[in-house]
Amino acid sequence: MGPGPSEIHPRALQALAQPAIGHLDPAFVDLMDEVKDLLRYVFQTENRLTFPVSGPGSAAMETCFTNMVEAGDKVVIARNGVFGGRMTEMATRLSADVVTIDDEWGQPVDPQKLEAALESNPDTKIVGFVHAETSTGALSDASKLAEIAQRFGCLTIVDTVTSLTGSPLYVDDWGLDAVYSGAQKCLSSVAGIAPLTISDRAVEKINQRQTPVSTWFHDIGLIDGYWSESSSRSYHHTAPVNSIFALAESLRLVKQEGLERSWERHRKISQTLLTGLSQLNLEMMVEDASIRLPQLSVVKVPEGIDEAMVRARLLQEYDIEIGPGLGPLAGQVWRIGLMGYSCRSENVERLLGVLKEVLSDLPEVSSSSG
């Protein structure tokens, strides 16, 4: 019940255990087409270029940046947590002209700040932001941010690692361009495989590059030769076949439940958790429900409590994992995940009961120990 990976669904585990087949086997090629169609459903897009990247969410992030950003391109990055900072690092390594806008951790990206940054930098080509910031539990208005970017003629790179199938996401309706996620969060599949979708607008920019993509492995033009619908798929790399077996089953589960039902389940069960945490006198990092992630609750550690000891007892004595804070929030918060298969009422009830017991008999320590 941490910030990821979530508990893998039993059906995905069974799929993972199937005998391996070749990554160009006709049966696997058929599965690739099914996976792409299912990914279009969960992303709510018709983008042709929709496939899973072989690697974690950060590999998909890097795929977006290395293909869309050339040296000297002006890129505006919104930072309101760890992963906006990671976007900044990637753009900087590509020798982009990076402009950052910052919001307090626990707050969403401020659309007014983005608009002001683009007014001051009319030559901006790319806007990058995180839809659901995993380090803080804050949800930004991706639709509004994309609308502003489009008004200034910019493409968007959007991190949906924690939001995909857990919060409403409409790639086409919102006009998002390069959108990536991870299989280990609300999809409840295995880590190391990362859904990605690229709009036709973004493909056009990639095709107009003046320089080659800086890395061979992440070159979308080469990857597309393998994942395209063409009858003559070309070898690019040995795809993680069994991980894609598991991803396919996880996507089928989402389709069976229905996206809207999945979003509602996360919202409803999260409310049960929040009610219980409030009864334990625990406060949320993100107080405003309209900008708080249902699938990831970031809880303030009470003063005088050794947060690491609480996590250790939950794990060692009760086999429950919750996550620590990252960056400046280290030692100050717990991150509790309700993602995908982990988002079940019995998990919430058990965690609340155990947390009450642990907090009631934990010896207080100096707050500086966190």
Phi, psi of 217 (to 5 degrees): -65, -35
Residue 102 DSSP class: E
- Asked whether residue 142 carries a pLDDT value surpassing 50, the answer given is yes
| 103 touches 80 (CB < 8 A) | yes
The pLDDT score that the predictor gives to residue 235 is 87
**The pLDDT of residue 367:** 38
**Which pLDDT value is given to residue 234?**
84
Q: So what's the pLDDT on residue 154?
A: 98
| Cβ neighbours of residue 320 closer than 8 Å, sequence gap 6 or more | 1, 314, 350, 351, 354
Higher model confidence: residue 369 or residue 245?
Answer: 245
Can you list the alpha helix ranges (DSSP code H) found in 79-157?
Answer: 82-93, 111-120, 142-151
pLDDT single digits (tens) 168-194: 999 999 999 999 999 999 999 999 999
> What average pLDDT score do residues 107-112 get?
98
pTM assigned to the model: 0.95
**Neighbour count for residue 210 (Cβ, 10 Å):** 7
Contacts of 126 (CB under 8 A, 6+ apart): 68, 69, 73, 74, 75, 76, 91, 96, 154, 155, 156, 157
Between 23 and 99, residue with greater pLDDT: 99
Please name every residue paired with 132 in a beta bridge, in sequence order, or none if there are none: 139
339: Cα separation from own chain's centroid: 11
Mean per-residue pLDDT for 110-119?
A: 98
Our separate counts of H helices and E strands in the chain read: 13, 12
Of all residues in the chain, the percent with pLDDT exceeding 70 is: 97
What pLDDT score was predicted for residue 369? 38
The pLDDT, as a whole number, for residue 370 is 38
- 80 Cβ neighbours under 8 A, 6+ residues apart: 102, 103, 104, 105, 107, 108, 109, 130, 133, 136, 138, 140
Q: Is the pLDDT of residue 231 over 90?
A: no
Q: How far apart are CA 345 and CA 148, in angstroms?
A: 39
The most distant pair of C-alpha atoms in the chain lies apart, rounded to whole Å, by 65
Average pLDDT of the segment spanning 205-227 = 94
* pLDDT band (50, 70, 90) for residue 24: confident
pLDDT for the residue 364 = 54
Domains with residue ranges and CATH for the chain: 10-256 (3.40.640.10), 259-363 (3.90.1150.10)
The per-residue pLDDT for range 29-60, each reduced to its tens digit, is 999 999 999 999 999 999 999 999 999 999 99
Q: CA dist 280 to 112, 144, 218, 323, 354, Å?
A: 37, 36, 47, 18, 11
End-to-end CA distance of the chain: 21
Q: Could you tell me if 126 and 157 are in contact, meaning their C-beta atoms sit under 8 angstroms apart?
A: yes
Which of the four pLDDT bands, split at 50, 70 and 90, describes residue 368? Answer: very low
Q: For residue 233, what pLDDT is reported?
A: 78
Asked whether the CA dihedral 107, 311, 193, 185 is positive or negative, the reply is negative
Helix axes 57-68, 200-207, angle to 10 degrees: 60
| Cα–Cα separations (whole angstroms), residue 10 to 57, 181, 343 | 22, 21, 14
* Confidence at 104, pLDDT banded by 50, 70, 90: very high
User: How large is the average pLDDT for residues 82-108?
Assistant: 97
Mean pLDDT of the chain: 95
Residue recorded with tokens 């990247």: 53
Residue 138: which of 364, 346, 333 has the closest Cα? 333
Contact between 178 and 155 (Cβ < 8 Å): yes
150-174: per-residue pLDDT in tens?
999 999 999 999 999 999 999 999 9
